[in-house]
Structure 1
Amino acid sequence: MNDGVLLVDKPAGVTSHDVVARIRRGLPKGTKVGHAGTLDPFATGLLLILVGRATRVQRFLMAQPKRYETVARLGYTSTTGDPEGEIEPGDMPGELHLPTGVITQRPPAYSAVKIGGKRAYALARAGETVEIPERQVFVARFDCEWRTEDRAAFVIECSSGTYVRSLIMELGDAYCVELRRTRIGDFDVADASEERLISLDDALAFMPAVELTGEAAAKAAHGVAVPGSAHGTVRLRDEDGLIALAEPRENDLLKPVVGFRA
């Protein structure tokens, strides 16, 4: 293994950090390992593990849209929005309103959002009142697959930063009993395998590629802007593969922002 992305199907009962630590132990000492998007301990599903220089592109992979499957318990509340909180009986929701499009939501108090440099869940568990600012997210799909007695199953496709637990809690008295992430961008949990390392170039294939040769390729490898235009982040490549990720600048230039040759 050198640099790339592993698709891992995280089981319930372990943290995303636990998965990173386990994989790091199996790699040469000093190998950088990270992930692109936390899953709660009770949740299962797709976790992108970043190996080597793939850790440099974490923010780009985290920004990809997500797909979730969740089962909710209706007529009950949970202080955390999941089975790990304090469960209390409540009112059974009637007709469910499933919002889509741009919506405003507040992440749950028991979340990994940082408040004053500390994780919200740590503050909440310490008994402190946690007030997390609202944020706008985009929900492309929110479908109820089935509903019976006090259970209902949903499929949700949403932007990065969306909290499924908040979506379910806002249905009324309800919380998530199961949560599974099935897709991140073009990656599907069905393809998860810890034996196959996806190359950086392939993992970033959702970005347009700009092919360079000669002097332009050499400049890009040293972080120097090269001629070209784009509407967002692009991959700069040459015959040897990926050189850098670049962003557009004035005067039709592409400025490398993440390099892979050094």
Structure 2
Amino acid sequence: MSGPSLREMSGSTEPKFGHFIVEFATPGIGHILKNAGCDFVLFDCEHSGFGFETVKAAIRYFEAARLPTIVRVPSREYQHIARALDMGAEGIMLPMVSTPEEARFIVDSVKYVPKGNRGVALGIAHDAYKGGEVLAKLAAQNERSAVFAQIETKEGVANADAIAGTDGIDCLWVGHFDLSCSLGEPGQFQSKTFLDAIETVAQACRKHGKRLGRLVPDVATGVEYRGKGFDFLCYSGDVWTYQAALKAGIDGLRAGCAEATKGGK
């Protein structure tokens, strides 16, 4: 990796910009995102329908472009966490993390001994199929792996301080839609309840020196949340970006051609 790793990014409060992939797991996607200026990619397996065979291939595409990859796994189950890591994911994002006990289980599943109890498999995708001294490889993987815990529930907000204080958690990532639903105000992102919850999570991250992230649908929201202390900012997703650009072009063509036709009469 020629640029900073996710763990290195997690040591800095400088903004990091990425993109959300839910549809286009094509061979060129890594280079497309890298050349668009992305610092990282968030690859979704919770809502996309991607299976682990696709994850394994997509991570190679991102590695080829030297673009650090966060894989959002479908659940907090050990099998999902460990398999994504074995396939080479640098970062793991877990949905609906609501208690410090859940956070500790996640770290235990991500890290090898002595920091956790992840099952050992060496000389495979995550270490580029290389040999080497076992303890050194375990330590290197522990240093490499980054953990992004999604705060998406009212309980998660209440426990944000304890979750952020869990050793091995690198970033709290606000799942804004699910959080607004859990707070009883679906989609009300400017409500006092929602904004108070955001500040509670931000304070927890500041206190424990952890990073703070979220998906932002547009530039204005990203700038707004940078002001709230967010530093991992994932700009929109592949489907919505492509669709918006295509719609703008088609709408422009339709309007322009209609005007040209009218003028030619």
Query: What's the TM-score, normalizing by structure 1?
Result: 0.25
Query: What's the TM-score, normalizing by structure 2?
Result: 0.25
Structure (1 or 2) with the greater strand fraction? 1
Structure (1 or 2) with the greater helix fraction? 2
